[in-house]
Amino acid sequence: MTETVQAANPGNAPWAKAGRQPRIAIVGAGMSGIAAVVKLRKAGYTDLTVFEKADRVGGTWRENTYPGLSCDIPSRWYCFSFALQAQWSHRYSYGPEIQAYMEKVARDFGVTDITRFNTRVTELTYTHPHWHLTTGDGEQAQYDVVISATGILHQPAYPAIEGLASFSGDCFHSARWDHSVDVTGKRVGVIGTGSTAAQIIGAVTPQVQEMHVFQRTPQWMVELPQKTYSPRWNKLVQRFPVLQRLSYHYYLQILLHTFSAGTVGNKTMQRLISWLCRRNLEKNVADPELRKKLTPNYQAACKRLIFCSDFYPAVSSPNASLVTEHIERIEPAGVRTVDGSLHELDILVLATGFDPGAFILPTKVTGENGVDLATRWAGAPRAHRAVAIPDYPNFWMLEGPTGPVGNLSLITISEYQVDYIISMLDKMKAEGLDAISPKPEAFDDYNAAMAEAIKSTVWITGGCDSWYFDASGLPNLYPWKPNRYLREMHNPDFSEYRLSG
Ligand code: NAP
């Protein structure tokens, strides 16, 4: 421990002027942290330390272990461009396979070797031109650059429902699945009908005695065209790596130009998405009453579109009931709805989502002039091009606020963001700069343009509420086509930045 502190504090001279490597702290060893290490090293930046609060890499794929967990982005695209893999068992991978992949890549590329596990970063304070990092153990160290790779949805959101603590059965959040509890033959309730709930309900309903689905708002869903990859096909892909690369780019382009384009104004795609959702509902839910209850009153893709083929059959099965009356309170025996019914349960699963405004919080991040990040954001996190913030020099975010998240591979987005950060480091190195941060006026202009553009996206015009909305009253998302964002990441405009040194 002492060794790390000493190694991190060899001197106060700005790295680019002193002609040494920048000391870079990366917070988080999920997929964006792994991408950062591999790409930074490849670009020649080798003085890296990763801080990970848990005992393993993997981020969301380590945290979420619920039954049915899978990724609705195709496996051949949901992977690192530098670590394509032929041996995927399914077109859409299940959680454990993705977690195993993350661990393998972290091992193969030496990420685990430089990761300090079980070490939570609690404070980051900027004193020109360095960042002072404090861990949960009270250890302190100095870095030249900090990269936040914490992900977005990592703080479970527990519903503020009266009596929740009084429930006498087993109760847990979807991201804290209690594997000591056997659901077989039990009366199970699931609160929520988002992507997570849909996967859980699809997987668990066949095993339970009763499944009670508590739906506050119906969701549009399309079928997941899942398929098993044959060993023969995987062998062929392994033998001809060009097939891996082709598949990667095929899925990237398909998703960019179809579902993603549909959310940001492509009317043809919007119509296609709506048609697919309606067809899915009509095809897979025979009971007209149930179908009515499952039909949203807003446009498809307004909330994050769900890809799931198991949910409709599960909720239509004889042991399942869809409860649309709102929850009044939770009692020791189960869930009481406003119509007075008590839905008696043995197990209650809270598939109620996450705090979407967390990002690097609750780490206390203090920028220039003592500006506290949580205060600055005040529930409406903003960043310049989703990666940087004025008054927080040499601080970069992967999957930061207003990025192009949604039905896309976040691995690709992270990789492009790392490339952008590398361009910034190269600039600092070439010009001997001490610090780099967005100009407040560039940040304001960018955010004003986003606030205007977002009004014509389906996230607003679609007429729904979702976790995309923050305290500003607007969705915290990139309002233009994601391929534009990828181009921006590969063509940084340094005139938007204050370069000091
Ligand atoms: P979510 O989309 O935020 O859904 C939360 C659900 O809980 C909603 O149905 C919500 O209802 C309901 N809810 C929340 N508080 C409630 C309350 N007090 N009473 C009743 N219902 C309540 O969360 P999620 O399903 O965990 O998904 C979050 C995100 O994770 C997704 O949008 C997606 O980006 C990602 N994800 C991705 C995959 C994948 O395959 N790639 C899989 C799972 C998750 P309302 O709709 O009425 O708010």
pLDDT over 50 (residue 55): yes
- In terms of pLDDT, which residue wins out, 405 or 392? 392
Number of domain units in the chain: 2
Residue 236 lies in a domain: no
> Does residue 197 line the site of ligand 1, with CB under 6 A?
yes
Q: How far is the CA of 374 from the centre of ligand 1 (A)?
A: 24
Q: How far is the CA of 303 from the centre of ligand 1 (A)?
A: 9
Q: What is the pLDDT of residue 2?
A: 34
pLDDT in tens, 325-373: 999 999 999 999 999 999 999 999 999 999 999 999 999 999 998 999 9
In this structure, which residue's CA is closest to atom 46 in ligand 1?
A: 217
In ligand 1, which atom is closest to the CA atom of 353? 23
> Does residue 75 line the site of ligand 1, with CB under 6 A?
no
Torsion of CA 120, 157, 255, 493, to 10 degrees: -50
Interior CA angle at 251 toward 42 and 482, to 5°? 75
On whether both 408 and 464 belong to a single domain, the answer is: yes
**Most ligand 1 atoms within 8 A of CB, residue of 77, 349, 352 to mutate:** 352
pLDDT over 60 (residue 114): yes
pLDDT over 70 percentage in the chain: 98
**pLDDT, average across residues 263-281:** 93
On whether both 368 and 475 belong to a single domain, the answer is: yes
**Most ligand 1 atoms within 8 A of CB, residue of 71, 73, 154, 195 to mutate:** 195
Interior CA angle at 80 toward 75 and 83, to 5°? 100
Q: Which residue is it, tokens 């479970």?
A: 156
Q: How far is the CA of 473 from the centre of ligand 1 (A)?
A: 19
Q: Which residue is it, tokens 């709506």?
A: 274
Bridge partners (DSSP) listed for residue 134 = 123, 140
Altogether, the residues listed in the chain come to a count of 501
Q: Which residue is it, tokens 């509420």?
A: 465
What are residue 112's phi and psi, to 5 degrees? Answer: -60, -35
On whether both 126 and 87 belong to a single domain, the answer is: yes
Q: What is the pLDDT of residue 11?
A: 63
- As a whole number, the mean pLDDT across the chain is 95
pLDDT over 90 (residue 281): yes
> Does residue 159 line the site of ligand 1, with CB under 6 A?
yes
Torsion of CA 24, 402, 446, 433, to 10 degrees: 0
Q: Which domain holds residue 257?
A: 164-225+251-350
> Does residue 33 line the site of ligand 1, with CB under 6 A?
no
On whether both 181 and 48 belong to a single domain, the answer is: no
On whether both 72 and 131 belong to a single domain, the answer is: yes
On whether both 345 and 363 belong to a single domain, the answer is: no
On whether both 322 and 266 belong to a single domain, the answer is: yes
pLDDT over 50 (residue 279): yes
- DSSP letter (8 states) at residue 22: P
Domain end point (choices 316, 350, 384): 350
- DSSP letter (8 states) at residue 330: E
pLDDT over 70 (residue 5): no
pLDDT over 90 percentage in the chain: 93
Residue 195 lies in a domain: yes
Question: Cα 363 vs. chain centroid, distance in angstroms?
Answer: 18
In this structure, which residue's CA is closest to atom 24 in ligand 1?
A: 353
**pLDDT, average across residues 5-22:** 75
Q: Which residue is it, tokens 């384009």?
A: 261
In ligand 1, which atom is closest to the CA atom of 352? 7
What is the three-state SS of 88-139?
CCECCCEHHHHHHHHHHHHHHCCCHHHEECCCCEEEEEEECCEEEEEECCCC
Q: What is the pLDDT of residue 176?
A: 98
In this structure, which residue's CA is closest to atom 31 in ligand 1?
A: 195
On whether both 334 and 380 belong to a single domain, the answer is: no
Residue 239 lies in a domain: no
Residue 69 lies in a domain: yes
On whether both 260 and 342 belong to a single domain, the answer is: yes
On whether both 170 and 187 belong to a single domain, the answer is: yes
For the domain that residue 279 is a member of, what is the CATH number?
3.50.50.60
**pLDDT, average across residues 61-86:** 96
Residue 207 lies in a domain: yes
What are residue 179's phi and psi, to 5 degrees? Answer: -75, -5
263 pLDDT band (50/70/90 cuts)? confident
Residue 241 lies in a domain: no
Q: What is the pLDDT of residue 337?
A: 98
Residue 141 lies in a domain: yes
Distance (Å, rounded) from C-alpha 479 to C-alpha 461?
A: 12
**pLDDT, average across residues 83-93:** 96
Q: How far is the CA of 55 from the centre of ligand 1 (A)?
A: 26
- In terms of pLDDT, which residue wins out, 394 or 501? 394
In this structure, which residue's CA is closest to atom 10 in ligand 1?
A: 192
In ligand 1, which atom is closest to the CA atom of 174? 26
Distance (Å, rounded) from C-alpha 116 to C-alpha 56?
A: 10
Q: What is the pLDDT of residue 7?
A: 42
The answer to whether the CB of 466 falls within 8 A of the CB of 302 is yes
501 pLDDT band (50/70/90 cuts)? confident
